Amino acid sequence: MIFSKNIAVTALSTLVLTAFHANPAWALDFKTAYEAALQHDATILAERAAAQAAQERLPQALSQRRPSLSLSAGQNRNHLESQTANMLGQRSVSERYYDSNNAALQLRQPLYRPAILAQIKQARAQVQDADAVLDVNENDLLERVAQAYFDALLGQVQLDLASAQKTAFAAQLQSAQKGFAAGVGMRTDVDEAQARMDLAHAQVLQAQQALDLARRRLALLLGVPVAQLVQLADLDTQRFAPSAPVPTSAEQWIALAEESSPQLQALRARLRAAQAEVDKAQAGHKPTLDVVATVSRSDSDSVTSINTVYKQKYVGVQLNVPLYSGGYVSSTVRQALAEVQRMQQTLEAAQRDLSNQVYEQFSAMTEGVLRIAALEQAVRSAQQALLSSQKSLQAGARTTVDVLNAEQQLTVAQRDLAQARYGYVLAHLKLQMLAGQERMANVDAVNRWLKTQG
**What band does 450 get if pLDDT is binned at 50, 70 and 90?**
very high
Q: What is the model's pTM?
A: 0.82
**Residue 317 shares a structural domain with residue 333:** no
What is the DSSP track for 182-195? TTSS-HHHHHHHHH
What is the DSSP track for 200-218? HHHHHHHHHHHHHHHHHHH
Question: How far apart are alpha carbons 325 and 172 in whole angstroms?
Answer: 91
Q: What is the mean pLDDT of residues 22-41?
A: 80
**Residue 153 shares a structural domain with residue 185:** yes
Paired with 82 in beta bridges are: 94
Compute, in degrees rounded to 10, the torsion defined by CA atoms 435, 436, 441, 444.
60
C-beta contacts of 14-20 below 8 A and 24+ residues apart: 16/222, 16/224, 16/229, 16/230, 17/224, 17/225, 17/228, 17/230, 19/230, 20/230, 20/231
Q: What is the mean pLDDT of residues 58-84?
A: 91
**Residue 252 shares a structural domain with residue 311:** no
Mean pLDDT of the chain: 88
The domain in which residue 107 lies consists of: 69-112+287-321
Between residues 441 and 302, which one has the greater pLDDT? 441
Per-residue model confidence as pLDDT tens digits over 131-189? 999 999 999 999 999 999 999 999 999 999 999 888 887 877 787 777 777 776 677 87
> Domain count of the chain?
2
**Residue 201 shares a structural domain with residue 305:** no
**Residue 79 shares a structural domain with residue 195:** no
**What band does 301 get if pLDDT is binned at 50, 70 and 90?**
low
What is the pLDDT at residue 231?
87
417, 157 in Cβ contact below 8 A? no
**What band does 96 get if pLDDT is binned at 50, 70 and 90?**
confident
What is the pLDDT at residue 197?
83
Q: Which stretches of 52-185 are assigned E, i.e. beta strand?
A: 68-85, 91-112
Give CA separation, 255 vs 131, 252, 263, 347, 350, in Å.
Answer: 22, 5, 14, 15, 14
303, 81 in Cβ contact below 8 A? no
Q: Which residues contact 2 (CB under 8 A, 6 or more apart)?
A: none
Q: Is the pLDDT of residue 21 over 60?
A: no
The lowest-confidence range among 282-286, 298-302, 415-419 is: 298-302
Q: What is the mean pLDDT of residues 58-70?
A: 95
**Residue 185 shares a structural domain with residue 74:** no
CA–chain centroid gap for 375, Å, is: 34
**Residue 117 shares a structural domain with residue 263:** yes
Q: Is the pLDDT of residue 6 over 80?
A: no
What is the pLDDT at residue 227?
80
What is the pLDDT at residue 9?
43
What is the pLDDT at residue 396?
74
CATH classification of the domain holding 186: 1.20.1600.10
Per-residue model confidence as pLDDT tens digits over 219-229? 999 988 888 78
What is the pLDDT at residue 185?
65
247, 253 in Cβ contact below 8 A? yes
What is the pLDDT at residue 23?
47
**Residue 20 shares a structural domain with residue 140:** yes
**Residue 212 shares a structural domain with residue 273:** yes
- The helix/strand/coil state of 10 is helix
**Residue 294 shares a structural domain with residue 259:** no
Q: What is the mean pLDDT of residues 304-322?
A: 88
- The helix/strand/coil state of 230 is coil
Burial 145-157 (b: 16+ CB within 10 A, else e): bbbbbbbbbbbbb
**Residue 23 shares a structural domain with residue 56:** yes
Per-residue model confidence as pLDDT tens digits over 179-222? 777 776 677 877 887 888 888 899 899 999 999 999 999 999 99
What is the pLDDT at residue 228?
77
Question: How far apart are alpha carbons 454 and 433 in whole angstroms?
Answer: 30
**Residue 314 shares a structural domain with residue 255:** no
Domain final position from 268, 301, 321: 321
